[in-house]
Structure 1
């Protein structure tokens, strides 16, 4: 049994996670363009590593959010939501600092 307050927090976490999945997919959409134009092999490798990690964790979060509500592991959703937010922020900052672009 879960209290109404716990269910409310879960709904909020789920909505935030859905929003984060959408935002990360938007970021990923542009990372492929950036990757195409990067000439420095070391920078490109770092960029593509961050890109792959962001894609991996975004898919994990998306899979959690697609489950029936009573089967969702909200601790995992909360953690993944924070992980993908950090990866998205870091890859955007990495790309903005790149002189090759």
Structure 2
């Protein structure tokens, strides 16, 4: 039995916005090329969102995304999130040799 994965992106941050579509697209390509894995179609997601709209709001959080995955009969959920991990150099007076 194939593993059905609902591939979703976490809510976007301003920094990650430009990269998130690229990462999601590439992840979809890689996972979709693996034998035994089926990526749940996004068109299924759209119809499910319409059905759920009258029941609740706020489906952008991880609980809502997981609920959508269950409605698509996905057996696994792959949730990606990007963050800005800026590394700053900090110099402490005790480490500066003059």
What TM-score do the two structures reach when normalised by structure 1? 0.30
Going by fraction, where is helix more abundant, 1 or 2? 1
* More relative contact order, 1 or 2 (CA 8 Å, 6+ apart): 2
Going by fraction, where is strand more abundant, 1 or 2? 2
What TM-score do the two structures reach when normalised by structure 2? 0.31
